[in-house]
Structure 1
Amino acid sequence: MVISKGLKTDILDTLADSMSKISAYPERQHYENVAKALVEKHPCLRDPGSEKGWYSWFHSLKFKLGNYRQKLSAAGCPEVIINKRKTGGSKGKSVKKSKKGEVNYCPDPPEGQNPERMEEKRKIMETEMQKKDPDHQLLEDLMVATFSKRRKEIIGDEPHITELISRWPALIQEKQIRAEFKRIVTTDLLVSFLDGLDGLVPRLLEMYKTATKSGKKQSLKDILDCLEKDDTKERRRAAALLGLPHYISGEDPSDVIRMCDAHVETLDEAMKGMQLGLVIGCEGGKQGFIPHEVFDVAVVVEETIVLHNVKDVAQSFAMLMGVIYCVNLKYPDAMKYSFEFIQRVVMKIKPDQASARVHGLRNRILRYKL
């Protein structure tokens, strides 16, 4: 079938409009899936002489989406505007787009709201947070109303953590981190983390034991030895999480997870050079590889404590994941596969897009029958 230029344009316009409603920046596989589905549903649209039959549609869709993003930018789409190249800006800058399964990565403003109104509400929130007993329901309502503005600032401006805390002091609270995470990913932070972890802990620990039988991975063996004296649910969770980077070859958790004596002034030293991670404050001096008594766990970003008074290692990992999503941070290179495993396998956020290493690790775990 010979397709006229006008008909092809109409088809591409319709597909581009539908795809952009899901994401303004589709991945390669998304273009391929749409092109393939198009010719499967309408065989008359197959490319003549092409083995796959949809390759020209794949390329046409990519160009069409590129042009369509210009229309989205003119219409005020926040996700496209923050990626608009400024005059004199770097031509090689990476596109700011959802990379960790965010559903509401950079949402449009609510109907009837504009930047000026949202800024007024932000100032009300800032004032409310200065009170000794702030109105938590008012804060929740203001956080919901200013979500679009906050995400645009965080993603577009990439402020330092101290500036972010200054402008959005309500965000860095445990309750609001959980609420913000749910707005971004549409799932409960603690429920998805702890339920997913509990389902994997027995298999992870068995996998760690197998890995230590060869005499290698001594640090992993030290973590498992800590469970022989105290094998509670909380410590098994901690062992599964703390052992993960030691099991994954090439990962070094020393810059991401650190321990210190809670009653000695060593906190500043423990945070030194830490861009993102956890500082676990223990009761007493030597606590082993899994602390018996956790006094306090602090979530640290850019050598700044953003959250503390977390009493459980597993919960502190969950809150760290929450902060990463709320502040739009990259996973630290030293533990990038461990964090990806937590996201895709433990929390089941976009599990189908796992890297080859995490996919292999997931398959290895499933082979352990308990």
Structure 2
Amino acid sequence: MGDVDRDLAEFIGSVLPNSSSRDLVLETLQSLGVETLEDLKYVQEPDLVNILRPIEARKLIARINALCADNSNSPPSTSSSSESSTPHRPSPVDNNWHFNFEIPWSKMPSEITRKLKNKERPTGRERRELIRLMVAEILTICPSPGKKHLSEISRKIVSTYPQSFRDVIEDQVVGSGYDSLTKQLQSRVDNMRRGKNSLFLKRQTSSASEGEDPPCKMKRVDTYGCINWQPKRLPLNETEDTQKCTQEELKNMHKNKRKNTKSIENKMMATFYTQRSNIISGMETPVLVKEWPYLFEMCGIMVHFKELTGMDVDREAMSSKCKRVISYLISHEKKNKIEDILSGMEIAKAKDLDADLPGCVLLLLKYFSEEQAKMFQLVDETSLPSEVDQLPSTPCIVVCGSSPLTAGHFMIAVDQIIVKDGVTNCGEALLMMFVTYYCLNISYPAELGATLEFMQRCLFKINPDKGTKVEKKESKKQQSVNPKVLSLITNIANFEWRE
């Protein structure tokens, strides 16, 4: 965080010390064009009404006015003192900083240090810890490192400890030898920056002409068809203290493995405001798992999804849609291309396993020529969560077996960590993986874009054009349908099919 951002954050914190919207206020001020404390004098109360409660907005404006009055009453200063009183702007980072970057080996945990000295390979968990520490150090120097920076740092790491980090298969170096390390660093940087990007805000063009409508207040554009992306305030009769109390009750219920589903759902619904605040502020996934464990259980995440989108998932309707899609794809794809999928579906049905949704998704991946490994990571049947490594940063399903159709054990991963173990149904795993994209504000990866968009529009019937009514017109301009997805939806709609 630069000095200017820090000054703004400290000023907001001094006015609103107990507000959960401080990060949101900072992002909004930055999106308005506030670059120094002096720029605050141009901020008006209407700019803040959609992110703060009325009293909070007025308190902030009052303090801004007082700050501006103090500055205007101060005696004029010389040019040199004026320069020293102006908030410092961080100088641009030298684009070749990575050549002088020092690897923070001294900050590594003792067990990792021991393994490196003994030329042993760290476990997946230890390697992720090293990546976290490395990226934290990198971001203190450069807030937006590029691939060339991360690639050079990976090269330095591998050259220092080749036996511990070099990409090797059967004693043969794969690629550069540090591609996987570079990819992990990139994923970690993306994850760290995901929650810190300014929220997308739009303002309609205003005019000073008489007879025209006054300028519209700033409105949030709900993405992906969400209707409650950021609740404006706590529910009635709720305070930050009651929210914290309910959160602790949920953590204790999860720890003690309580089975009272109705109570869990009610408590998750009551604390939805705080969950969204934590997610939007950029709380990291491992912390979310600890603070909101039911957000990674089916009973909890489906409550969050319904509050977020206003939708229940109709499993029976989805099954019927899957059968129609499967029938169309089978009739239009070459049998030799999908033979393994069809045989897997037959085996699953013979074992009374859910074959419709996973079979449909596998056929869609094949139809759109997208990367199955980005959604399904195959591991050994006896693999433990701590043994699973090399996961994508986006949500995926870890399949403990040779096929998603016939396996009996699944795990859900987000941000390269296992967030849910012990799922025994592939359909449930797919459902949980998909809604995770919504609940954690994660964009679809390019490698799965068409398949996920088809699932969104056809199987789940979530239309991103239907956000808030105020921004519906602008939303349609921003959300364009993938032509391949639109073509497939149209063809299936016109397909003569009987269940």
TM range, smaller chain: 0.5 to 0.7
After superposition, the C-alpha distances for 1:279-337 in whole angstroms (9 at most, x for unaligned) are 1123xxxx4x5543x22111111222222332222221111123222323222332122
Identity %: 21
Tell me the number of residue pairs that the alignment of Structure 1 and Structure 2 aligns.
282
Match of 1:247 in 2: 367
TM-score by length of 2: 0.50
1:206 counterpart = 2:328: yes
- CA distance in structure 2 between the partners assigned to 1:92 and 1:106 by the alignment: 15
1:188 aligned onto 2:312? yes
In structure 2, distance between residues paired with 1:184 and 1:326: 7
Contact 2:358 2:430 in 1 (8 A): no
Are 2:296 and 2:419, in contact at CA under 8 Å, matched by a contact in 1? yes
Structure 1 CA distance for aligned equivalents of residues 55 and 342 of structure 2: 50
Say yes or no: does 1:355 pair with 2:481: yes
Check if 1:273 corresponds to 2:400: no
* Higher mean C-alpha displacement, 203-212 vs 127-136: 127-136
Q: What is the 5 A alignment of 1:104-253? A: 104-107=228-231, 108-133=233-258, 136-155=261-280, 157-189=281-313, 191=314, 193-212=315-334, 218=337, 220-227=338-345, 234-249=354-369, 251-253=370-372
5+ long unaligned stretches in structure 2: 1-43, 57-87, 90-142, 145-195, 202-220, 466-478
Distance, in Å, in 2 between the alignment partners of 1:199 and 1:228 is 19
1:247 Cα deviation after fit: 0.7
1:336 matched to which residue of 2? 449
Change (3 A) 1:128 1:318: closer
Question: When the two structures are superposed, what TM-score results if normalisation uses the length of structure 1?
Answer: 0.65
AA aligned to 1:172 is F
Q: Which has the larger radius of gyration?
A: 2
Alpha-carbon distance between aligned partners in 2 of 1:279 and 1:167, rounded to the nearest angstrom: 23
User: Structure 1 residues 226 and 309 mapped into 2: Cα distance closer, same or farther (>3 Å)?
Assistant: same
Assess if the C-alpha contact under 8 Å between 2:410 and 2:429 holds in 1. yes
In structure 2, the CA distance between the partners of 1:351 and 1:160, relative to structure 1 (3 Å rule), is closer
Secondary structure of the residue aligned to 2:296 is coil
Query: Structure 1 pair 210/268, CA: closer, same or farther in 2 (3 Å)?
Result: farther
| Letter paired with 1:273 | L
Once the two structures are TM-superposed, the CA of residue 200 in structure 1 deviates from its matched residue by 3.7
- 2:223 is paired with a residue whose SS is coil
- 3-state SS of paired residue (2:354): helix
Check conservation: 1:223, 1:243, Cα contact below 8 A. Answer: yes
Q: Deviations over 1:240-267 (max 9, x none)?
A: 1112122114x2121221222313x375
Which residue of structure 2 aligns with residue 30 of structure 1?
none
Question: Once the 2 structures are TM-superposed, how far is the Cα of residue 269 of structure 1 from its aligned partner?
Answer: 5.7
What residue ranges of structure 1 are gaps of 5+ in the alignment? 1-65, 79-86
Q: Distance in 2 between matches of 1:131 and 1:236?
A: 35
Residue 103 of structure 2 is matched in structure 1 by none
CA–CA distance in structure 2, aligned partners of residues 242 and 330 of structure 1: 20
| Mapped partners of 2:436, 2:482: distance in 1 | 26
Rounded to whole Å, the distance in 1 between the matches of 2:243 and 2:347 is: 54
Is the 2:377–2:391 Cα contact (8 Å) retained in structure 1? no
- Distance (whole Å) between structure 2 residues aligned to residue 182 and residue 77 of structure 1: 30
- Quick one: which of 294, 300, 309 aligns to 2:422? 309
* Equivalent AA in structure 1 for residue 332 of structure 2: T
